[in-house]
Amino acid sequence: MAAGSNAPVGVFDSGVGGLTVAREIMRQLPEERMVYFGDTARLPYGTKSKNTVIRFSRQIVRFLMTKEVKAIVIACNTATACALEEIQRELPIPVIGVIDAAARVAGSVTKNNRVGVVGTTATIESGMYEKALRQYNEKAEVYGKACPLLVSLAEEGWLHDTITEEVVSRYLKDLQYKSVDTLILGCTHYPLLRSTFRKIAGEDVTLVNPAYEVAMELGELLGREGLSCRGDVGRAGEKYEFFVSDAAEKFCDFANTILPYDIGAVQQIDIEDFETEDLREGETCRRM
Ligand code: DGL
């Protein structure tokens, strides 16, 4: 049976980074219920092969379906790049990822048609931001830069640190030579480093935050499909559920530094219990 409009939205990520997306959904769509899953036992996804990320994503989606979610948001840029198309094909409910929403905005705000994308190695190598951007702006020149060190720095809490500034500055150098006027923060953790990106990239570069854009897209999607929540579904503590595959306490501590309210309980589950059909190993998440 199809989930009703008061059913929760399912959101998943490789770990804590997707909380930047959860936060935007809480802010923009406060009436919606949400079930969040963070795959803390198996992160990072950004260094893994495409088939591994697809297999993990399928297991998570299968878990979220047991929660009778009405729609799914893939908050993780890497999982969106590697698995969105498969998951969309396989599920009977709407599924969106962070890439399309951000690409649409970047494609329309750029004035010189030169757009930079920063993200994990897997996201950048997939070429999915470039593919999506071209759909909205065929003149766009897209320059990707993998910035693998930034996830650790953000999780360490070094958001406004001189070391983080130095690292961002090194990573952005190539993009600055390309004179990009728009920069997509294409990894869940990078919105937390927004002020550092702003400082290094300068005031003239428009920063696009996929977390913000996908929450907007979710609101539009739910409205269009007649799935927006009707009526009062309870207070924050009742509306939101959090699940992880490991280290629930650490997740809880991190969540409480970035979410607009303190989360009480985080449940740990064995995500491997939700195994689905295996894919062949070997193919990597490279440009298609
Ligand atoms: N959530 C990932 C992303 O947005 C970053 C962390 C990871 O590599 O798992 O790409």
Taking only the tens place, the pLDDT of each residue in 13-58 is 999 999 999 999 999 999 999 999 999 999 999 999 999 999 999 9
**76 tagged catalytic:** yes
pLDDT at 277: 64
Amino acid 215 reads: A
229-279: pLDDT as tens digits: 987 767 766 899 999 999 999 999 999 999 998 888 999 999 999 987 643
Side by side, which strands form the sheet with 9-13? 95-97, 71-74, 9-13, 34-38, 240-244, 266-268
User: Quick check: 84 and 60 in contact, CB under 8 A?
Assistant: no
pLDDT at 46: 96
205-232: pLDDT as tens digits: 999 999 999 999 999 999 999 999 987 7
Segment among 3-7, 109-113, 144-148 with least mean pLDDT = 3-7
234-258 per-residue burial string, b: 16 or more CB within 10 A, e: under 16 = eeeeebbbbbbbbbbeebbebbeee
Side by side, which strands form the sheet with 182-186? 141-146, 114-119, 182-186, 206-208
Pocket test for ligand 1, best of 21, 40, 43 (most atoms within 8 A of CB): 43
Domain 9-97+213-285, classified CATH 3.40.50.1860, yes or no: yes
Q: What is the pTM of this model?
A: 0.94
158-187: pLDDT as tens digits: 999 999 999 999 999 999 999 999 999 999
Q: Residue with the nearest Cα to atom 6 of ligand 1?
A: 44
Residues 104, 240: Cα–Cα separation, whole Å: 29
Determine whether 45 is exposed, middle or buried from the number of CB atoms within 10 Å of its CB (0-12, 13-18, 19+): buried
Distance (angstroms) between ligand 1 centre and the Cα of 275 equals 21
Residues 169, 279: Cα–Cα separation, whole Å: 39
Measured from the CB, is residue 97 less than 6 Å from ligand 1?
A: no
62-78: pLDDT as tens digits: 999 999 999 999 999 99
Q: Per the structure block, which two tokens stand in for 117? A: 């994308």
Measured from the CB, is residue 17 less than 6 Å from ligand 1?
A: yes
Task: Parse the chain into domains and list their residue ranges.
Answer: 9-97+213-285, 99-210
pLDDT at 178: 95
Q: What are the backbone dihedrals phi and psi of residue 203, each rounded to the nearest 5 degrees, phi first? A: -65, -25
* Secondary-structure class of domain 99-210 per CATH: alpha beta
Residues 41, 61: Cα–Cα separation, whole Å: 16
**252 tagged catalytic:** no
Reference 253, options 157, 150, 163, 158; nearest CA is 157
Q: Do the domains spanning 9-97+213-285 and 99-210 agree at the CATH topology level?
A: yes
Higher-pLDDT residue of 286 and 140 is: 140
pLDDT at 2: 66
**Average model confidence (pLDDT) for the chain?**
93
Q: Residue with the nearest Cα to atom 2 of ligand 1?
A: 76
Ligand 1 atom closest to residue 188's alpha carbon, by position in its atom list: 4
95-111: pLDDT as tens digits: 999 999 999 999 999 99
How many percent of the chain have pLDDT more than 90?
89
Q: How far is CA 95 from the centre of its chain?
A: 13
> Do strands 9-13 and 141-146 pair parallel, antiparallel, or not at all (unpaired)?
unpaired
Distance (angstroms) between ligand 1 centre and the Cα of 43 equals 8
pLDDT(113) > 60: yes
pLDDT at 261: 86
Ligand 1 atom closest to residue 45's alpha carbon, by position in its atom list: 9
What's the mean pLDDT in 1-22?
92
Residues 279, 257: Cα–Cα separation, whole Å: 37
